[in-house]
Structure 1
Amino acid sequence: MDAIAAEPALGRTGRVTARVVGLCLLVIVLDGFDMLVIALTAPAIAADWGLPAHRLGPLFAAGILGMIGGSVLIAPLGDRLGRVRVLMLSCGLFGVFAGLTVLASGYWSLLGLRLLTGLGLGGAVPNATALISEHASPRRRPLLVSVGLVGFSLGGMLCAGLAVPLLPRFGWRSLYLVGGVLPLLLIPVLRRYLPDSPVAARDLRAAEGSGVRRLLGAELGPDTRRLWLGFFINMMVMFFLANWVPYLAGQAGFSPRQGSLAALALNLGGVAGPLLLAMGCQYLDARRVIGTAFVLAAASLVAVGYATGSFGVYLAAAALAGFFVFGAQITLHALAAAAYPTPLRATGIGWALGCGRVGSVFGPLLGGELLRSGVPLQYYFSGFGLVVLLAAAATFTLSARVASAD
């Protein structure tokens, strides 16, 4: 019998599910911490080593490139070795290499350590997402997956909060020490208290036909390609917004302080959006909820581009863009979890996220090229809005199985 049809219901509730969500949330918080720490320490590193601003770009990109590698190379191991083992491996990798960053002696050693840290970061989120989805009932899956993935933003907030007292007193290396020690301390906790997939011991190692070839086969291929397109486009737009909204506020005639407020509004919308959209997915077809969010994201992007006359309108449009763009991205993880049978789930999520992270590299670069070309501000956002409609079409046309899996 086909693995999809034969797959048992995996929904579980109560204390075990709460423990799984809580521990996976901690993993993703530390993942977010060690991903975003470079952004907070880059000015101090540049000052310490006398680096020009343009040499910081590769340091930012190295972590993302490492995460792409981790998503497609390490994350799929969860389908063969079990989710918890690979989560522990991922925590060990990004913990060790983040900790070793304390010893970085120059630009190239730091670049290499960021790349290696990214490998561990890329393996963690797909397996944490798969594990949460396998301990959640189908109805609660979008909400619980979104709760877990909000940990990435919480990790960034934790890093920013610790940077305030630590950077002036102990220097930039102190944040990497924290980012290295905490994941290593979490490993024995995961080993002791985190249950694996309810079918991991029985089915994961015995699965036949697992791997990328099956993702693209006749049965799963159409949904896989649509998910990859959705992840690529939306993460491209997410990182475009995160990197350029404050600067483009200045291009629209607003002050630097107003640009910072616009970035805050964008991120506040990005925290609220995933949770509220995920609640909607509990009662409505998730494909329709997320597809509609993409359509509204496109409208919000156009509104940001044309809101040059009123800062209040610009602020509201930025918040809505964060709500729908960030919200659609995180809830899209739940659709990816539902799209694949258990023996293939970490591989499916990992490759979809890897495609998304390729998009996350293109977004900031494309924004910079558009800025250099002198394209009017309205065209920036309208162009990205039109592209987001492709993600909406891809989501609306996912198979019914994705919405009703498990």
Structure 2
Amino acid sequence: MQKTTKELIDGQSLSKLQYATFFVCFIMNILDGMDVMVISYCASAIAKSWQVGPEELGIVFSSGLAGMMIGAMFLAPFADKIGRKKMILISAFLMGASMLMTAWSQNVSELILLRFLSGIGIGSMLASTAALTAEYAPDRKRDFWVSFVLSGYPVGAVLTGIVSASLVPAYGWPVMFKLAGLASFICLPLVYFSLAESIYFYIKKQPKGALLSANAILSKLGHEALERLPKREVKSSGIPVNKLLNKEYRIPTYQLWTALFMAFGCLYFLISWIPKLAEATGLSMSLAIYAGTVFNVGAFFGIIIQGYFSSRTGLKKTVAVFLVVTGILMATFKLFSGSSSLLFVIGLLGFTLQGGFVGLYAVAARMYPTEFRTTGLGWAIGIGRFGAVIGPALGGILIGMGLSMAENFLIFSIPAIIAGVITFYLASTKLS
């Protein structure tokens, strides 16, 4: 049955059910982008309202990123037991509830806790939507549809920036968390009524009522009903992590982990601090918020262009060039600080850094075989997210020490260049 279903999905045009699945997952990733970026766009207003310093804001940023790491590594895997759709519903509810509660938080301690809870939902949402999309996309177009769904993240970040620039100066920062929370709750019925569970989940896990549910999906896909489910496969308890560190994969695994750690740290330093740092250069609060928006607009196009060139000139080379160019731009940022070209350079940084960063996910997917690809990806992301936790916190310390925007960019150019060089020399025969 598994083979038949695979042939069905790979061998026919997309159905309404598949398009609906991709669309709903895209919308949920827009929410992801909104919920990640809203704290960055509101950071300056929160600092002024509560009289808190950059060190405390750095901890707030890092708590959300720590939650994302926990959500991706420890909550999302439960989707394999209860289903992708249920996990998406749980994630959306957790995101919505924590966002709404944030609007009424009274101090930094409450904000840190609520950002951590939001991060758990965000991390789980990203992994669950990507998995569900991959299972409904035909093999020849799987990369496109997974990328399309994940591109909802920068779209959400851009929309949030545009709305924040208008509402935060006029109505205060809590309004953005109320809107983000309500958006998640509004989408719960959309997920419940419009999103199909993975057909592979019903076939492999065979929960109660699996045959009836599987046949309902097969009918919508234009396939005949099953009389019975195939014999349930009994598999081993999982792939041990030490397979990532055997003789063939040990060196490239360490290289990939290091590159992702560096790239995550640099990326999330910029995502978290660009609006506040831009304001410190003399931009108004509205223009400083637009700086974060421009960064994510650049990211959307950078991801697409990186994918185009990677397929033609080689993945390692392309990703390495994107990351090294990022480092050069950051190191020379002082030349543009205070000039009319500042927003353009920030957009270019989004283009190169996020284009290269997303390319590292493709590197991981190619480097490991099917037998333990998910383990390889999961651990690479988990190790990398330690960099995402450290980057914003370190940025807060450096800003608190009085370092300027240009000096901070110079310091964080180093990990971007290191990530690019490591990627270029990554010792895997499966990559060009």
Structure 2 length as normaliser, TM-score? Answer: 0.72
Larger radius of gyration: 2
| DSSP 3-state at the match of 1:216 | helix
Q: How high is the sequence identity, in percent, across the aligned residues?
A: 27
The aligned counterpart of 1:128 is 129
Pairing 1:117-196 to 2, within 5 Å after superposition: 117-136=118-137, 140-163=141-164, 172-196=173-197
AA matched with 2:72: S
AA matched with 1:53: G
The aligned counterpart of 1:19 is 20
Question: How many angstroms apart in 2 are the aligned matches of 1:296 and 1:128?
Answer: 31
66 and 295 in structure 1: CA distance in 2 versus 1, 3 angstrom threshold: same
Pairing 1:225-240 to 2, within 5 Å after superposition: 225-240=254-269
AA matched with 1:210: G
Pairing 1:24-103 to 2, within 5 Å after superposition: 24-42=25-43, 45=46, 50-54=50-54, 55-103=56-104
Task: Give how far 1:273 is off.
Answer: 0.3
Task: Give how far 1:194 is off.
Answer: 3.0
Question: How many angstroms apart in 2 are the aligned matches of 1:182 and 1:274?
Answer: 26
AA matched with 2:114: L
Question: How many angstroms apart in 1 are the aligned matches of 2:293 and 2:165?
Answer: 18
255 and 361 in structure 1: CA distance in 2 versus 1, 3 angstrom threshold: same
Task: Give how far 1:325 is off.
Answer: 0.6
State which drifts further: 95-104 or 69-78.
95-104
State which drifts further: 324-333 or 366-375.
366-375
Contact 2:30 2:155 in 1 (8 A): yes
Contact 1:75 1:346 in 2 (8 A): no
Contact 1:295 1:389 in 2 (8 A): yes
304 and 277 in structure 1: CA distance in 2 versus 1, 3 angstrom threshold: same
Q: Any gaps of 5 or more consecutive residues in structure 1?
A: 1-7
Q: Any gaps of 5 or more consecutive residues in structure 2?
A: 1-5, 206-232
Query: Residue 283 of structure 2: which of 247, 253, 256 is its match?
Result: 256
Contact 2:62 2:392 in 1 (8 A): no
Task: Give how far 1:119 is off.
Answer: 1.2
Task: Give how far 1:216 is off.
Answer: 3.0
Query: Residue 297 of structure 2: which of 252, 256, 268 is its match?
Result: 268
Contact 1:32 1:154 in 2 (8 A): yes
- Is 1:361 aligned with 2:361? no
Question: How many angstroms apart in 1 are the aligned matches of 2:110 and 2:144?
Answer: 40
AA matched with 1:116: L
- Is 1:241 aligned with 2:242? no
215 and 192 in structure 1: CA distance in 2 versus 1, 3 angstrom threshold: farther
AA matched with 1:271: F
333 and 101 in structure 1: CA distance in 2 versus 1, 3 angstrom threshold: same
Q: How many residues align?
A: 392
93 and 324 in structure 1: CA distance in 2 versus 1, 3 angstrom threshold: same
Question: How many angstroms apart in 2 are the aligned matches of 1:163 and 1:290?
Answer: 32
| DSSP 3-state at the match of 1:256 | coil
Contact 1:130 1:346 in 2 (8 A): no
**C-alpha RMSD of the superposition:** 4.1
Contact 2:70 2:120 in 1 (8 A): yes
Query: Residue 359 of structure 2: which of 302, 309, 331 is its match?
Result: 331
35 and 99 in structure 1: CA distance in 2 versus 1, 3 angstrom threshold: same
Contact 1:123 1:350 in 2 (8 A): no
AA matched with 2:283: P
Question: How many angstroms apart in 2 are the aligned matches of 1:298 and 1:14?
Answer: 41
- Is 1:290 aligned with 2:291? no
Question: How many angstroms apart in 2 are the aligned matches of 1:342 and 1:84?
Answer: 24
AA matched with 1:121: I
Task: Give how far 1:103 is off.
Answer: 4.9
Contact 2:262 2:416 in 1 (8 A): yes
AA matched with 1:358: F
- Is 1:299 aligned with 2:328? yes
74 and 220 in structure 1: CA distance in 2 versus 1, 3 angstrom threshold: farther
CA distances 1:254-304 after superposition (whole Å, capped 9, x unpaired):
653698476665443222101221233455543443233223333333443
Question: How many angstroms apart in 2 are the aligned matches of 1:293 and 1:134?
Answer: 30
351 and 80 in structure 1: CA distance in 2 versus 1, 3 angstrom threshold: farther
Question: How many angstroms apart in 2 are the aligned matches of 1:249 and 1:169?
Answer: 19
| DSSP 3-state at the match of 1:52 | coil
Contact 1:214 1:220 in 2 (8 A): no
AA matched with 2:354: F
300 and 134 in structure 1: CA distance in 2 versus 1, 3 angstrom threshold: farther
Contact 2:336 2:345 in 1 (8 A): no
AA matched with 1:231: L
Contact 2:58 2:392 in 1 (8 A): no
Task: Give how far 1:222 is off.
Answer: 5.2
Question: How many angstroms apart in 1 are the aligned matches of 2:88 and 2:27?
Answer: 11
Contact 1:28 1:125 in 2 (8 A): yes
Task: Give how far 1:236 is off.
Answer: 1.2
Question: How many angstroms apart in 1 are the aligned matches of 2:139 and 2:316?
Answer: 14
Task: Give how far 1:224 is off.
Answer: 4.3
Contact 1:216 1:222 in 2 (8 A): no
AA matched with 2:156: G
